[in-house]
């Protein structure tokens, strides 16, 4: 670690000497209301009409830095929808540059509807929400759901071909879905879906979504109140209060959210195990019920020392004080097609969790050639589970277990940005230390073999260094980045260190992209290496009892998954295209195996696969036909996957399709009718059956947009089910779930003197905390 720090300091000193020889220009770009404009184009020219010598874009706070050797340069600033402005440079630090809206262009948009809402930037596709039909769609969740290449199922958001993204609102990491629900679409300026993140993000991150929110001017107290009711087989509800106080340079904020959810899911399954002597088949009809209550509390402050320096801190507390789940199962068991028993099983689960997070940050331009972002995290949390299961067989089986997890984490991240050769050079380092303890007790066991109490502890230290450089040449943008991670992992079982399961990883993760932008076409080709580390739950060594014929366990020997991702994006007229090709090494999957003396029990164990690939392509077409704005999407996903001694193939591709319809009606009404689904095909070892659902939404605003009413029907035909088949010799498993997705939701949001927090801190440890 000392070597890495010395190397960074040496690089820092050398670069400092280089930059001192040139002229470094810094400044800030805002709109007419003083709101920062992110990703505004900045170029240096010799005079107003001459060629470009260097260029960059502003960051999320509207700041920029540039280096030039030219005398008497002129900075030219442009932004979609605003009048281009040129400023003569007389000193290194420019005052704030304000851009005024181009009223002629906006007029054309209203009359002709020709304005382009999408463009390539920052390693992804950006949408100008503030000047699009999505401005009044509802919430940030609604805006994301309408973005190309984003799929939303319930509360889960994923980017096609990339998985779950990190989501930021004005550089602040989103940790709870309530944060997206409380942000009105009227306060969103831009959304950028980054499919090729830079090396400043953790190596496990495959996609990032940046939401740039408009901060209304003014001081005093502002806030929002939100409430929602969800009616399906059971009634659920959630609500929140969001307050903000702004005075001069001080910004105080607080948020409280509460939710109570109930679900009931019906499950039909058939599991067949073919052993040497017989074939055991277990058919089950089950009903799963969940009832939980969740609290989220956040508070903090932000203080702007001046236009270029800010500090702040915040505290987040979450708690699930009430979680009760249960599964009622009726099992019918046959051996060699002869019925041997039929019995009910009742399982009850009680759980409570809590977590604490303290984040502090500093961001600022410490000199004309150096911008600094420093983030520090401390996190601590625990969860406790009580499971009790009774199977009324001839010899009754009773199993009672408890599990306890405790973790603590501290982390820091330093990001530096410096102008170099007419563009920006970003570099930095981060460090985290994690301790995770898991204890498993078997309190009662009558009739279940191989269950034993145990405890394990994992300690991990991560050091990372990263750098990236981007360069614009005419209509082309080139970007190169590299990230190095040194991870030390120590594993302890029952208080003793296990050397075989303790290991050190040293890996380099390169990233590169090239993009082209013109008036007619925009495209980008990118590459990024990422890693998926197993969760601490997957690394456990305890055996979990599900029912008399099904067990689960962890795998302390599980290795991280390395992913090489090549992606291509295209914007042309009303067409958007994305293609992704991924190569996996050591992919982790849950594999069933025969278990027990009679080999009639199925044990699920996470294991690493050698080499697999996936090819995904998706295209969208989005015309505008008067008050009707449809978006049609069609895509395909294909795995290249073999498993087992016979190298059985699991490679049938499946199609994904969607049709989103937005109708803008008089009196401020917006109606949406959406269709989406998938065809049959393989996803790794699992064969997925086709799915389809239809959603509808009606939105109405009152009181100049301060009161928003929203009625939504989700899966209104009740057709969205999850049916999947897994065939891994000698086990066949078929599961058919009714997910209880058919629902009607009604929400109310009221805003008063709304002013969003200016908090600029980022998490230094989000990816690591997700592993808990």
Residues 627 and 133: their CA atoms lie apart, in Å, by 10
User: Who wins on pLDDT, 50 or 719?
Assistant: 719
Give residue 9's pLDDT: 46
Give residue 184's pLDDT: 76
* Beta strands at 721-728 and 188-194: parallel, antiparallel or unpaired: unpaired
Classify 105 as helix, strand or coil: helix
Region label for 233, one of left (φ > 0), alpha (ψ between -120 and 50) or beta (otherwise): alpha
**Structure-token pair, residue 222:** 């502002």
End-to-end C-alpha distance for the chain, whole angstroms: 25
> Residue 73 half-sphere exposure, CB side, CA atoms within 13 Å?
25
CATH of 2-79+81-103, picked from 2.60.40.1120, 3.40.50.10470, 3.30.70.360, 3.20.20.70, is 2.60.40.1120
Give residue 84's pLDDT: 82
Whether 32 has a pLDDT exceeding 90, the answer reads no
User: Who wins on pLDDT, 120 or 263?
Assistant: 263
* Beta strands at 166-169 and 208-213: parallel, antiparallel or unpaired: parallel
Whether 756 has a pLDDT exceeding 70, the answer reads no
Chain segment 51-79, per-residue pLDDT in tens = 555 667 777 677 777 777 666 678 888 77
Give residue 768's pLDDT: 53
Q: pLDDT grade, residue 128 (50/70/90)?
A: confident
List the beta bridge partners of residue 764: none
* E-state strands within 62-103: 63-68, 74-78, 85-88, 93-99
Provide the residue ranges of all domains of the chain, joining segments of one domain with +.
Answer: 2-79+81-103, 124-770
Query: What are residue 197's phi and psi, to 5 degrees?
Result: -65, 150
**Mean pLDDT to the nearest integer, 87-115:** 59
User: Who wins on pLDDT, 390 or 536?
Assistant: 390
Give residue 541's pLDDT: 82
pTM higher than 0.95:
no
Burial environment of residue 220 by CB neighbours within 10 A (0 to 12, 13 to 18, 19 or more): exposed
Residue pair 657/696 in contact (Cβ under 8 Å)? The answer is: no
Nearest to 96 by CA among 131, 58, 67, 124: 58
Query: What are residue 731's phi and psi, to 5 degrees?
Result: -120, 135
Give residue 197's pLDDT: 87
Nearest to 333 by CA among 246, 269, 248: 269
Residues 547 and 524: their CA atoms lie apart, in Å, by 50
- What contacts 716, CB < 8 A, 6 or more positions away? 694, 695, 696, 742
Show the CA angle centred on residue 197, arms to residues 193 and 200, nearest 5°: 135
**In terms of CATH architecture, what is 124-770?**
Beta Barrel (2.40)
The rounded mean pLDDT for the chain is: 84
Whether 104 has a pLDDT exceeding 70, the answer reads no
Residue pair 518/190 in contact (Cβ under 8 Å)? The answer is: no
**Structure-token pair, residue 537:** 């739950």
Nearest to 494 by CA among 527, 457, 526, 519: 457
pLDDT-above-90 percentage for the chain: 43
**Structure-token pair, residue 163:** 């998985």
Nearest to 82 by CA among 56, 64, 55, 62: 62
Whether 279 has a pLDDT exceeding 80, the answer reads yes
Chain segment 213-227, per-residue pLDDT in tens = 876 556 788 888 889
- Least confident window among 87-101, 201-215, 434-448, 555-569: 87-101
**Mean pLDDT to the nearest integer, 110-134:** 66
Peptide bond into 714 cis (omega under 30): no
- What contacts 84, CB < 8 A, 6 or more positions away? 76, 77, 78
Residue pair 395/447 in contact (Cβ under 8 Å)? The answer is: yes
- What contacts 24, CB < 8 A, 6 or more positions away? 65, 66, 67, 92, 367, 368, 369, 419
Whether 570 has a pLDDT exceeding 50, the answer reads yes
- What contacts 128, CB < 8 A, 6 or more positions away? 80, 81, 115, 116, 117, 118, 119, 189, 190
> DSSP string of 230-299?
EESSSEEEEEEEEEEEEETTEEEEEEEEEEEEEEEEEEEEEEEEE-SS-EEEEEEEEEEEEEEEEEEEEE
Whether 109 has a pLDDT exceeding 70, the answer reads no
Q: pLDDT grade, residue 103 (50/70/90)?
A: low
Chain segment 522-548, per-residue pLDDT in tens = 899 999 999 998 888 888 888 888 888
> How is the chain split among helix, strand and coil, in percent rounded to 5?
10, 65, 25
Whether 687 has a pLDDT exceeding 90, the answer reads yes
Residues 658 and 624: their CA atoms lie apart, in Å, by 17
In the 3-class helix/strand/coil scheme, how is 683-716 assigned residue by residue?
A: ECCEEECCEEEEEEEEEEEEHHHCEEEEEEEECC
Whether 764 has a pLDDT exceeding 80, the answer reads no
Give residue 6's pLDDT: 43
- Least confident window among 72-76, 110-114, 494-498, 548-552: 110-114
Residue pair 464/430 in contact (Cβ under 8 Å)? The answer is: yes
List the beta bridge partners of residue 402: 386, 441
pLDDT-above-70 percentage for the chain: 87
Classify 766 as helix, strand or coil: helix
Whether 172 has a pLDDT exceeding 90, the answer reads no
């Amino acid at each position: 670690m000392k070597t890495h720090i010395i190397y960074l300091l040496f690089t820092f000193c050398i670069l400092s000497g280089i930059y001192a020889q040139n002229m470094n220009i810094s400044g800030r770009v805002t709109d007419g209301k003083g709101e920062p404009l992110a990703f505004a184009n900045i170029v240096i020219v010799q005079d107003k009409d001459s060629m470009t010598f260097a260029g960059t874009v502003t960051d999320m706070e509207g700041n920029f830095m540039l280096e030039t050797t030219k005398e008497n340069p002129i900075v030219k600033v442009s932004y979609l929808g605003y009048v281009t402005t040129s400023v003569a440079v007389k000193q290194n630090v420019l005052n704030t540059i304000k851009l005024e809206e181009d009223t002629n262009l906006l007029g054309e948009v209203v009359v002709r509807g020709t304005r382009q809402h999408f463009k390539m930037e920052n390693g992804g596709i950006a949408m100008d929400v503030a000047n699009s039909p999505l401005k009044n769609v509802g919430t940030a969740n609604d805006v994301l759901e309408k973005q190309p290449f984003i799929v939303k199922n319930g509360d889960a958001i994923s980017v096609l071909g990339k998985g779950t993204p990190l989501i930021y609102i004005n550089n602040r990491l989103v940790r709870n879905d309530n944060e997206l629900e409380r942000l009105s679409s009227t306060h969103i300026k831009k959304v950028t879906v980054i499919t090729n993140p830079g090396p400043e993000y953790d190596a496990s991150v495959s996609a990032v979504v940046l939401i740039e929110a408009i901060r209304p001017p003014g001081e005093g107290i502002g806030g929002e109140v939100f409430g929602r009711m969800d009616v399906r087989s059971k009634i659920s509800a959630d609500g929140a209060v969001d307050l903000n106080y702004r005075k001069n340079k001080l910004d105080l904020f607080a948020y409280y959210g509460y939710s109570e959810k109930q679900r009931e899911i019906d499950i039909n399954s058939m599991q067949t195990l073919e052993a040497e002597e017989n074939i055991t088949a277990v058919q089950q009809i089950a009903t799963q019920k969940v009832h939980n209550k969740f609290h989220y509390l956040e508070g903090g402050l932000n203080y702007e020392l001046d236009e270029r320096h800010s500090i702040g801190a915040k505290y987040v507390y979450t708690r699930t004080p009430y979680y009760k789940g249960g599964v009622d199962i009726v099992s019918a068991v046959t051996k060699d097609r002869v019925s041997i028993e039929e019995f009910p099983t009742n399982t009850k689960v009680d759980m409570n969790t809590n977590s604490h997070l303290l984040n502090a940050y500093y961001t600022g331009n410490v000199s004309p050639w150096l911008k600094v972002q420093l983030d520090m995290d401390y996190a601590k949390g625990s969860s406790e589970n009580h499971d009790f299961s009774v199977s009324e067989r001839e010899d009754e089986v009773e199993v009672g277990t408890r599990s306890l997890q405790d973790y603590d984490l501290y982390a820091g991240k330093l990001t530096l940005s410096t102008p170099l050769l007419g563009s920006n050079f970003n570099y930095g380092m981060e460090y985290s230390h994690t301790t995770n303890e898991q204890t498993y007790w078997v309190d009662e066991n009558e009739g279940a073999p191989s269950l034993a109490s145990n405890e394990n502890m994992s300690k991990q230290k991560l050091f990372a260094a990263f750098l990236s450089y981007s360069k614009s040449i005419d209509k082309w943008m080139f970007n190169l980045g590299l990230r190095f991670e040194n991870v030390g992992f120590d594993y302890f079982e029952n208080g003793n260190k296990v050397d075989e399961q303790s290991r050190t990883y040293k890996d380099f993760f390169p990233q590169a992209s090239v993009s082209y932008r013109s008036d007619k076409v925009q495209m980008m080709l990118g590459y990024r290496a990422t890693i998926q580390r197993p969760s601490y739950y997957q690394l456990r060594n305890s055996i979990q009892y599900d029912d008399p014929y099904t067990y689960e366990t962890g795998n302390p020997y599980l290795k991280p998954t390395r992913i090489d991702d090549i992606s291509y994006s295209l914007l042309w007229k009303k067409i958007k295209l994305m293609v992704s090709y991924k190569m996996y090494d050591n992919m982790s999957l849950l594999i069933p195996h025969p278990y027990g003396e009679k080999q009639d029990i199925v044990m699920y164990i996470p294991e690493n696969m050698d080499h697999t690939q996936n090819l995904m392509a998706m295209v969208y077409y989005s015309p505008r036909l008067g008050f009707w704005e449809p978006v049609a999407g069609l895509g395909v996903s294909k795995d290249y996957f073999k498993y087992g001694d016979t190298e059985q193939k699991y490679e049938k591709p499946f199609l994904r399709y969607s049709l989103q319809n937005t109708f803008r009606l008089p009196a401020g009404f917006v109606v949406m009718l959406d269709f989406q689904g998938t065809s049959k095909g393989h996803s790794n070892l699992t064969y997925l059956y086709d799915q389809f659902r239809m959603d509808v939404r009606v939105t109405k605003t009152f009181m100049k947009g301060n009161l928003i009413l929203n009625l939504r029907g989700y899966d209104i035909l009740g057709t969205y089910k999850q049916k999947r088949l897994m065939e891994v010799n000698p086990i066949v498993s078929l599961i058919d779930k009714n997910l209880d997705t058919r629902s009607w939701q009604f929400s109310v949001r009221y805003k008063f003197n709304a002013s969003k927090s200016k908090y600029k801190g980022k998490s230094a440890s989000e990816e690591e905390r997700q592993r808990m």
